[in-house]
Structure 1
């Protein structure tokens, strides 16, 4: 049976009415971006202690963190990658920059630069960092497990330390997790500053 012209018009009109609904169904959730921040704004006060040139790096992060999606733990053996909550830049670069910014408020370093060094750069002290873990669980706890070495200008090891840092995540969302991880980097920076000052 061939449909009448009126029936065809009615079907087309119905399909046209459904198009906005279909278009709405195709939209994805907005992506939110996060970054580690530093403890306090920089001041003109020069930190106490000997002024040496200090180089931060290389910084080694585990492969599971080398991605834009924020990684959280769901249990001892299960991880989650957030599709719509991501770091605004490479986690490696973000971590190294946040650490360096924190250190600039804690030590007297002239200059303080990051690996790879600029042309002609040869720091008096170098901090080599290996991160074993830097993640957390929403609404629970963030963890930084890290080892670091302080080397002199001749690559002689002056100090080596390994520590676990833990910080409560003060909220149920990714913004609270990023804030807790920022506080972990701040704690780490204070210990790095202490190890530099002792050598």
Structure 2
């Protein structure tokens, strides 16, 4: 009969020892969220005309970027998904808006809309974009590979181009990588604006 109290005491001691472990299991690392940004608007004179209505999209993104986690490269054939470093919204939508913000300062577009268009309207010029890659390596560089086509109001292709961009990250963390990716969008916007002006 003396065995029961000893067994009960042992169980209580084991439970007490496990409490710190259980408390530790309830904590997790905080999640950090990031967004692409465009340069602040300049107060200089407006972009030169002619002013046509311009639509951006559709923007096609590769499936590997269709996730909230930031994707980085560990090598030529290895990728990493950061569980606690995430985009604040779908990256395709963030990319499209950042590109539109950049273009607003580079071309005269009235109005400048994103796909899908507002009901009852179709822009004079449309930029259709296919992104092949948009990622990078922490502490090293970010890169973007994309193709785009400028269409007229009837859907006829006026030009088609493809380009690849690289931008050094100014720091070792995810914030520096997101900033480098934002600069990539700025570079891309300048080439898109050039192709629009050529028409």
In structure 2, what is the equivalent of residue 91 of structure 1? Answer: 91
Counterpart-to-counterpart distance in 1, 2:5 and 2:196: 87
Counterpart-to-counterpart distance in 2, 1:77 and 1:11: 50
1:187 shift after superposition: 0.4
1:88 shift after superposition: 0.5
Does residue 1:2 correspond to 2:13, yes or no?
no
SS at the partner of 1:80?
strand
In structure 2, what is the equivalent of residue 192 of structure 1? Answer: 192
1:13 shift after superposition: 6.3
Counterpart-to-counterpart distance in 2, 1:22 and 1:42: 54
1:142-153 to structure 2, matched below 5 A, reads 142-153=142-153
Runs of at least 5 residues in structure 2 that lack an aligned partner in the other structure: none
In structure 2, what is the equivalent of residue 25 of structure 1? Answer: 25
Runs of at least 5 residues in structure 1 that lack an aligned partner in the other structure: none
Per-residue CA deviation, residues 40-76 of structure 1 (Å, 9 max, x unaligned), is 2364842222111000001000100111111101111
In structure 1, what is the equivalent of residue 108 of structure 2? Answer: 108
Counterpart-to-counterpart distance in 1, 2:65 and 2:151: 26
Q: What TM-score comes out, normalization by structure 1 length?
A: 0.92
Per-residue CA deviation, residues 123-168 of structure 1 (Å, 9 max, x unaligned), is 0000000001101000111110000000111111111111000000
SS at the partner of 2:162?
strand
Counterpart-to-counterpart distance in 1, 2:44 and 2:117: 25
Counterpart-to-counterpart distance in 2, 1:120 and 1:43: 33
In structure 1, what is the equivalent of residue 64 of structure 2? Answer: 64
What is the root-mean-square deviation of aligned Cα atoms in Å?
A: 1.9
Counterpart-to-counterpart distance in 2, 1:67 and 1:116: 21
1:153-168 to structure 2, matched below 5 A, reads 153-168=153-168
Q: What TM-score comes out, normalization by structure 2 length?
A: 0.92
1:21 shift after superposition: 4.2
> How many corresponding residue pairs?
198
Counterpart-to-counterpart distance in 2, 1:44 and 1:9: 79
